[in-house]
Amino acid sequence: MNRGVERQLRAVLAVVSILAAGIALRAERPRIYAIKGARIVVAPGKVIARGTVVIRDGLIEAVGADVNAPPDAVEIDAAGKTVYAGLIDFHSGLGLRRAQAATPTAGGGRGGGINLQALAAQQTRETPAGALHPLSRVRPETQATSLIVPFERENSDAQRHRNLGFTAALVAPETGIFRGESALINLRDGTPATEIILKAHVAQHISLEMGGGGFGGGGGGGGYPGSLMGYAAAIRQTLLDAERYQTWKKRYSANPAGMKRPDTTPALESLGPVLDRSRMVIFDLNRADDILLADRLAREFNLNAVMVGSGHDWELLDQIKATGRTLILPAAVPERPRVDDADDAVEVETRDLKRYVNAPQNPKRLFDAKVRFALTTHGLRNPADFSRNVRRMIEAGLPAEAALAAVTTTPAEILGVSSMMGTVEPGKIANLIVTDGDLFAERTNVQQIFVDGYEYKNETTARPRGDPNAVVDPIGTWSVTIAFGGRPITSTWTIKGTRGNYSGSSETQGRSTDFTRVTLEGNALTVTQAAPGGRGSQEITVIITGETFEGTVEGPRAATVKGTRTAKPQGGAQ
């Protein structure tokens, strides 16, 4: 053989060997696990006191008290722990890039009238690309599947959601009136979008969110229409146009001879499944009375509609029950009105006080009225508040089994994926969570999460546990140091009030922030305040020992907290 050819052949073989080795290194280890000795909550109200769950290649293979671990499984000792089906967040914007807005349609003032002069001027601008609806807020053809951005492997939104127990989420575009179609996705990191989509074309999202009145604010975007009446008119007209479009297209397809060819309008085309009820509609709302308006629109066009609740739906409970609609409830509660100072208290409306007091009871009242609902993180400024808020709802009377159903079996039923998820049963997707106690209990942590059979561990900084029987006094002024990654931040805390009714504030570099919540359990003091940068809220728990305390900031960023009391209420220095 020619030596030159021989050398080339050897080089090719070497490259092939390297590639083969690389493929072997990248090959996944078998995803076979046996979670042994755990309490298994198969479904709300159905519990195996001690058993084993076997996972194989992304599916639940076996569940039961007498199930043995396969010889090829990685065994996980879960004695003293509880296995639940992974939670499903029914409404989220996780993992979506913002849809590019078209040139806004000119609009009038608060009444939503069309400004003809502005429209004429707008025609001289560059026309948006694509066969778009003339109203920039009408984009029902938008697909969540085309907006999904794969989650990064670390510190992703998916990770933060998983640490709460969520393994799947319904994600939807978040702007406009007709916002587009949502998709159900698994919360896996470092995975192409095609591999995390569980179900596409789930629902068309229509918004009546005008800002104010609820927890989530607006989201409609700018331009025409600019009023609730304008929103309702735009929804009705768009659906009427879609009906006419579908009729015209059918007639033309049956016999085009002598007929004008109908325009191709993707926005109206995409509403065909909505009008024939094969596509669910989710109305995004933020006021209780908007549910009644949305119901009237849904009845006019015979839509299969689900409503996003406001959090104070109890105000119109009888009317909402009469609609027969399913609700998606944000697990949010309003911030405590500022009534400690007399000047601030004067500005607080009685309605706001009632809503603050009654918010935790809202799900209980709906449950008693037999209104079906699912719970969601939608509308929470900080999704990390989800578990605590659900716990407050349970303390206000909502059965714990009903709360669990609202994030497992109920969303699975509504979304049409009960055969895939929602319970811990053989054949279903291995979306599971392992906790160290009852899911919504005060000190319970989600320790392990399985998504599609892939294991994740919750490395969130755990809240310190104090002595529940200790008696301490948190009142006074404290000098506090919080160290984020070795970078110390000093502040002054002031705690006041009486047992069971504490309040306080933190002053950092001359800027004061009120704590939204202050609780004391034994010697464990927990304060909640706005997170840096305005990104939701931040919970800090410290253990008081005499005139000092130590603790942590709860969340994925490790942070230690130390404090020393410098003054008691009477003002005496320590």
- Give the single-character DSSP code of 480: E
Shared domain for 215 and 194, answered yes or no, is yes
Tokens 């007209």 correspond to 237
Residues 6+ apart with CB under 8 A from 573: 566, 567
| Domain-located, residue 471 | no
What is the enclosing helix (H) or strand (E) of 280?
A: strand 280-284
| Domain-located, residue 23 | no
pLDDT tens digits in sequence order for the chain, 574 residues long: 555 656 666 655 555 555 554 444 444 566 899 999 999 999 999 999 999 999 999 999 999 999 999 999 999 999 999 999 999 999 998 888 765 544 444 444 333 444 445 544 544 455 567 678 888 889 999 999 999 988 876 656 888 899 999 999 999 998 899 999 999 999 999 889 999 999 999 999 999 986 544 444 445 555 667 788 999 999 999 999 999 999 999 998 889 888 888 888 899 999 999 999 999 999 999 888 999 999 999 999 999 999 999 888 999 999 999 999 999 999 988 777 666 666 666 667 777 778 777 788 999 999 999 999 999 999 887 788 899 899 999 999 999 999 999 999 999 999 999 999 999 999 999 999 999 999 999 889 999 999 999 999 987 656 677 888 889 999 999 999 988 766 788 999 999 988 878 999 999 888 888 988 898 888 999 898 876 654 456 788 899 999 999 988 865 556 789 999 999 876 444 4
Q: With beta carbons less than 8 A apart as the criterion, state whether 406 and 43 touch.
A: no
| CATH number (domain holding residue 214) | 3.20.20.140
Shared domain for 490 and 558, answered yes or no, is yes
Predicted pLDDT at 552: 84
Structure tokens belonging to residue 186: 């698994």
CA distance 80 to 9: 60
Number of domains in the chain: 3
Residue 68 to residues 54, 63, 126, 452, Cα–Cα distance (Å): 9, 10, 67, 22
| Domain-located, residue 3 | no
What is the enclosing helix (H) or strand (E) of 380?
A: none
The end-to-end CA distance of the chain, in Å, is 93
Shared domain for 355 and 497, answered yes or no, is no
The domain of 550 spans 476-567
Shared domain for 451 and 533, answered yes or no, is no
CA distance 463 to 436: 13
CA 354 from chain centre, in angstroms, equals 26
CA distance 112 to 338: 35
Measured at the alpha carbon of residue 282, what is the angle toward residues 281 and 285, in degrees to the nearest 5?
Answer: 140
Tokens 């349609």 correspond to 105
- Name the residue among 243, 244, 232, 178 with its Cα closest to residue 205: 178
Shared domain for 277 and 340, answered yes or no, is yes
| Domain-located, residue 348 | yes
The dihedrals phi and psi of 110, each to the nearest 5 degrees, come to -65, -20
Predicted pLDDT at 519: 87
CA distance 240 to 244: 6
| CATH number (domain holding residue 45) | 2.30.40.10
Shared domain for 184 and 204, answered yes or no, is yes
| Domain-located, residue 15 | no
Shared domain for 363 and 487, answered yes or no, is no
Shared domain for 393 and 276, answered yes or no, is yes
Shared domain for 448 and 379, answered yes or no, is no
Residue 532 to residues 484, 537, 561, Cα–Cα distance (Å): 12, 8, 16
Residue 157 to residues 151, 168, 184, 199, Cα–Cα distance (Å): 7, 12, 16, 20
**Cis status of the peptide bond prior to 225, with omega within 30 of 0:** yes
CA distance 433 to 422: 12
Predicted pLDDT at 258: 85
CA distance 8 to 11: 5
Shared domain for 162 and 295, answered yes or no, is yes
Structure tokens belonging to residue 255: 């016999």
Of 430, 460, 490, the last residue of a domain is: 460
| Domain-located, residue 452 | yes
CB atoms within 10 A of CB 186: 22
- Name the residue among 276, 283, 201 with its Cα closest to residue 243: 276
| Domain-located, residue 563 | yes
Structure tokens belonging to residue 355: 């809503």
- Give the single-character DSSP code of 136: T
Shared domain for 179 and 164, answered yes or no, is yes
Q: With beta carbons less than 8 A apart as the criterion, state whether 559 and 460 touch.
A: no
| CATH number (domain holding residue 486) | 2.40.128.20
| Domain-located, residue 35 | yes
The dihedrals phi and psi of 54, each to the nearest 5 degrees, come to -105, 130
Structure tokens belonging to residue 560: 């230690």
What is the enclosing helix (H) or strand (E) of 352?
A: helix 350-358
Residues 6+ apart with CB under 8 A from 330: 91, 214, 215, 216, 308, 309, 311, 375, 376, 377, 378, 379, 380
- Name the residue among 568, 550, 570 with its Cα closest to residue 559: 550
CA distance 422 to 415: 11
Of 368, 395, 418, the last residue of a domain is: 418
Shared domain for 405 and 449, answered yes or no, is no
Q: Note the pTM of the prediction, 2 decimals.
A: 0.76
